[in-house]
Amino acid sequence: MTLDLALFLILALVAIAAALGMLLSRNAVYSALFLVLNFVTVAVFYLLLGAPFIAMAQITVYAGAIMVLFLFVIMLLGAERLPDAKVLPWQKPLAYGLAFVLAAEATYLFVTRARPEGDILPPEAAVNTLDNLRALGIALFSDYLLPFEVTSILLLVAMVGAILLTKKEKWERK
Amino acid sequence: MVPVEYYIILSAVLFSIGVAGVVFRRNALVIFMSIELMLNAANLAIVAFSSALKSLEGQIFVFFVIAVAAAEVAVGLALIVEIFKSKRSIDVDQMNSMKG
């Protein structure tokens, strides 16, 4: 067993355990922290796959900004834990069963139908140089310039929308 | 080297855990986190394919997905705060009326 494979298997266990912890925690704060662990693990996978820029973006945007926003809202609303209510008894086993079927089918179809030719690049090829970052920057600002600019407009609209949604609605009544 | 299938299997498993979270959790915030988990699983699959095909396009798509996810979280959390203001709860079972 090579070092890469051992690293992958251990990290995959951590990622799946963190996702299950997110799913099963009663407290929403614990869910958020488990999800941060999962995001950081996936960032390490990106490094293994030779995508260092995406790995860093994953840590700053997902594990940093997005999850801080989540924790902020959870604590602002004081909604860590919902009061127990009457739930449908068959809902949980049904959800587990359907999710398991989905996982099995998706795994089978992805592996058999979507198999690309070729193996994963050795990470040293991309991690230890700035080639990955330089190539990404050139592609973003030449071939993908229009989507890049549209994304900036999308972020502006989301910012304005979030501010408008949480604003007091005095302007409506005038 | 790790075969690309392993990454795809891991991605499918993470995605399915996210689906289960959306289906049976009642806390709107946890449902939202499950959606993020699914986006993340899809990103992992895209980067794995991009790496296997030795092409940079997959990483660029993942970059856009991350940007769109950030926008989605900002608007979604603002909506959840608004719902909490009117219902005093974020239990999705309580959200059963169209108006206020």
The CATH number linked to B75 is 1.10.287.3510
B74·A103 Cβ contact <8 A = no
Asked if residue B100 is part of any domain, the answer here is: no
- How far from A101 is each of A41, A83, A114, B16, CA to CA, in Å? 25, 31, 19, 9
Asked if residue B99 is part of any domain, the answer here is: no
Please name each of the domains of chain A with its CATH number: 3-81+97-172 (1.20.120.1200)
Asked if residue B47 is part of any domain, the answer here is: yes
What pLDDT is attached to residue A77? 87
Closest partner residue to A102 (CB to CB) among B4, B16, B32 is B16
Give the ipTM: 0.92
User: Domain total for chain B?
Assistant: 1
Residue A169 has pLDDT above 70, yes or no: no
- Burial (CB < 10 A; 0-12, 13-18, 19+), residue A4, is middle
Task: Name the more confident of A165 and A43.
Answer: A43
What pLDDT is attached to residue A114? 64
Closest partner residue to B67 (CB to CB) among A53, A94, A151 is A151
| Tens of pLDDT, residues A64-123 | 899 999 999 999 888 777 776 666 778 788 888 888 898 888 888 777 776 655 555 555
Asked if residue B89 is part of any domain, the answer here is: yes
Q: Which domain holds residue B64?
A: 4-93
Mutate which of A54, A112, A138 to disrupt the B interface (most B C-beta within 10 Å)?
A54
- Cβ burial A66-86 (10 Å sphere, 16+ → b, else e): bbebbbebbeebebbebeeee
